[in-house]
Chain A
Amino acid sequence: MKIDVKHVADLARLKLSEDEMRRLEKDLESILLRMERLKALDVEGVEPTFGAGDVQRLVLDQDRPAPGLPREEVLKLAPSSEGPYVSVPREGTPGDAPQGSE
């Protein structure tokens, strides 16, 4: 199975050299190969699971607000900040990526 490393890198916003791309292509292919072997297993009649662990039903929590992190701490975690905000390099042109939730 062939993988388009350039496309995957674009989606992950990674800038890769030709060298890295060649190496990753190999790595990713061997990972996919492993998956192919799993696909060969007979899972007829087995319910699919999407998570590890025993909890098969979402546990719901009560809607009671609790304090989070102090702002100073949050802003310290960010690579850069300005006033009360986290600041980041502008992502392309405005609206280049999905804005807000879609």
Chain B
Amino acid sequence: MSETQYELNVGLEVHVELATASKMFCRCKTKFGDPPNTNVCPVCMGLPGALPVANEEAVRLGVMAALALNCRVNLSSRFDRKNYFYPDLPKAYQISQFEEPLAVSGYVELASGKRIRIRRLHLEEDAGKSMHAGDDITTASYSLLDYNRSGVPLAEIVSEPDISSPEEAREYLEKMQRTLRFAGVSDVKMEEGSMRVDCNVSVRRKGEAQMGVPVELKNLSSFRAVTRALAYEYDRQSRLIEQGKRIARETRHWDEDKGVTVSLRAKESSQDYRYFPDPDLPRLELDEAFIESVQRAMPRLPNQVVDFYVNVLGLPKYDAEVLTVDPNLVKFFDRCVELGGEPKPVSNWLMGDIMAYMNAKGLSYDTIPVTPENLVAMLGLIKDGVISGKIAKDVLIKMFETGKAPGDIVKEEGLEQVSDDASLSVIVDSVIAANPEVVAQFKAGKDKVLGFLVGQVMKASKGRANPAKVNIMLREKILS
């Protein structure tokens, strides 16, 4: 089977929890990780007679997200009830926006320049969390419910089926995650569930006008799971088409361990959500002045930061992309540059030793263990020849561990570069004396062997010798 005959069409539904302090329609706390059922009230428990009161900040963050994703915000939108029975939904309906969403017609632009269109962005409330007890048939089969998450504000962002490869899906999600993180609308953490992804996947023969039958994928708990599941579905569906078989319209569950998707349910049977306008909630009416105020408050978004780094600071595009993974990293970098740090060396140290250390320790970018002041001071020491780049790596580790200024560490540990002729001369002489064969080779014109001798001097000086000086001194002493 030639797979290139087939085309993949993917649309993504992304849910993000909006970073409010209280819930969408009541003032219960939204804090992640609180003890079960401690942030609940009659509204989010769906008790009779309780009435929803909408959260202004959730609306503001929803508009912020919409603008950051290039959407058009509808000045008038409406809330509907989506009816279904599930224990994590105490009212037996979810308040969502169906007919008239908050925003429409946005896009995310990929590095290739291709735009993945966003069909709509709407506000809704999250459901509670259920844990299934007694997976064994012999034990009691029941579910345990925690309603702390019930009613937490969500923005649902639905793309058009413009994504045509697993890699594009990943890039779309990463770009969206960065943008929303920089806009400050959500934590967007897949691992904590503040960002969740469902896929609609279809496959068709290339050139065919009609889209294939969409299959919905669930349980995608990481970007990696998304790409793996899409690759698997592309394979499965194109093989079915090849065999002349029908693709069922269904929901499939990604099994991370086995690396396969399994059928959960036929779509037809459970799709009757009987949406209708929520009579408890009048229309959401916004005015231009409000939208403009949100636009004015918009923080710099990753694309703008990348442009600035490349065009103004002269950083390579690669560096700019790596640094914009997190707004705190950008803040740190910007501060270093403000303090007079040269952009490229600062970027090198951040992307190299600092990120490596932070990854190893599992630190997040809001707790970078050195200050911009100290990093810039360290770069100054290298530039002034006080320490070598190699010694600086050790100094940096000490800075992480002690929080001390690099100048103090260098003094206390006696790490200054040895540049004075008298001290260097002693070491250079001893290295020449110890390596007569190599010295002879160099004399015979084998220029490359000098590197070995420089290395020996560096070793003997415990990395503190000034390599440029050593180089010159060795040449002089051997050839004179």
Contact = CB atoms under 8 A, between A and B. Distances in A.
A42 interface: no
Interface centre among A52, A75, A94, by most chain B C-beta atoms within 10 angstroms, is: A94
Interface residues of B, number: 75
B127 A101 contact: yes
A74 interface: yes
Interface string B114-130: 00000000001111011
A62 interface: yes
Interface string A1-31: 0000000000111000000000000000000
B361 interface: no
Contacts of B147: 74, 86
A58 B283 contact: yes
Contacts of A11: 83, 272, 274
A58 B282 contact: yes
A100 B54 CA distance: 21
B301 to A, nearest CB: 23
Interface in A68-102: 68-69, 71, 74-75, 77, 82-91, 94-102
B57 A90 contact: no
Give the interface residue-count category, chain A.
Answer: 35 or more
Given A90-B141, A99-B86, A65 B27 contact: yes
B311 interface: no
Task: Give the secondary structure class of A's interface.
Answer: loop
A62 B54 CA distance: 9
A68 B282 contact: no
Contacts of A87: 133, 142-145
A90 B45 contact: no
Contacts of A68: 26, 28, 39-42, 44
A56 B59 CA distance: 17
Interface string B13-46: 0010000111000111110000111111110110
B29 A65 contact: yes
B282 A90 contact: no
A51 B145 contact: no
Nearest to A94: B132
A74 B37 contact: yes
Contacts of A61: 27, 53-56
Contacts of A74: 37, 40, 45, 147
Contacts of B127: 100-101
A13 B59 contact: no
19 contacts: A12-B85, A51-B277, A56-B283, A57-B283, A61-B54, A64-B22, A64-B27, A83-B144, A86-B145, A86-B147, A88-B87, A88-B143, A90-B141, A90-B143, A97-B86, A101-B94, A101-B124, A102-B82, A102-B94
Given A51-B281, A65-B30, A66-B27, 16 more contacts: A11-B274, A51-B278, A51-B280, A57-B282, A63-B20, A65-B28, A74-B147, A75-B37, A84-B146, A87-B133, A89-B143, A90-B143, A96-B270, A97-B85, A97-B86, A101-B124
Interface of A: 11-13, 50-52, 55-66, 68-69, 71, 74-75, 77, 82-91, 94-102
Interface of B: 15, 20-22, 26-30, 35-42, 44-45, 47, 53-59, 78-79, 82-89, 94, 96, 124-127, 129-133, 141-147, 154, 196, 198, 218, 251, 253, 264-265, 270, 272, 274, 277-285
